[in-house]
Amino acid sequence: MKAAFLDRDGVINEKAPEGEYIARWEEIRFLPDVFSSIAALQQAGFKIIVATNQRGVALGKIRRDDLEEIHRRMREEFSRQGTSLTGIYVCTHDYADRCSCRKPQPGLLTRAAEEHGIELSSSWMIGDAPSDIEAGKRAGCRTARILIAGSENGVGPEADVSSPDLASAVGTILRITHSHV
């Protein structure tokens, strides 16, 4: 079984301004083509798993209950749009905690793989940050980087695919995976 691991902020929904956090459902703004892109991945046989660092919980800027509400409602919205999320894996630790789940560590991906029978070498990590790409590589996945204007685009490990948005990343991933079948 293969999966598409997606970072949340900057890939599925708009990021909060630098230094701020999305702390309530009302602050979620889905990016264009997210639902159709995820539907295309699902139709190609990918399980969809969100893997997100949410340090704001450790900093006291996001209440754990509010984060759980965001993810519950996110699942409902995906369902309304005809898709589903296999899982949402979250690291709420601060940098100093030195956990194995905070990206760039691969813990969120490896835990999801164990729990859902996912073959990491057939899977993709899609993210907008160097830590997403590094986590994907450490887990043994192929990687796709969403290049957001004004972000640290050239920093960090090189992804297998670089795209301006999720829709074009998914198009490239599907071309690559179909050519290897």
Q: What's the pLDDT tens digit per position in 25-47? A: 999 999 999 999 999 999 999 99
pLDDT at residue 150, as a whole number: 56
- What amino acid positions are annotated as catalytic residues? 7, 9
Closest listed residue to residue 75, CA positions, set 65, 66, 88, 63: 88
pLDDT at residue 32, as a whole number: 93
Which helix (H) or strand (E) segment is 50 a member of? strand 46-53
Measured between alpha carbons, how far is 165 from 173 in angstroms, rounded to an integer? 12
Contact present, 109 and 141 (Cβ < 8 Å): yes
Beta strands in 15-173 (DSSP E): 46-53, 87-91, 124-127, 142-146, 161-163
Measured between alpha carbons, how far is 124 from 127 in angstroms, rounded to an integer? 10
Task: Kindly tell me if the per-residue pLDDT of 173 is higher than 70.
Answer: yes
In Å, how far are 130, 131, 171, 177 from 54, measured between CA atoms?
A: 16, 13, 28, 30
Where in the chain are the domains? 2-179
Average model confidence (pLDDT) for the chain? 93
pLDDT in tens, 92-136: 999 989 999 999 999 999 999 999 999 999 999 999 999 999 999
Look up the CATH number of domain 2-179.
3.40.50.1000
Q: Supply the angle between the helices 34-43 and 166-179 in degrees, to the nearest 10.
A: 10
Place of tokens 């100093």: 96
**Average pLDDT estimate for 72-79:** 97
Tokens (6 digits) for 103: 């990206």
Task: Specify the pTM.
Answer: 0.94
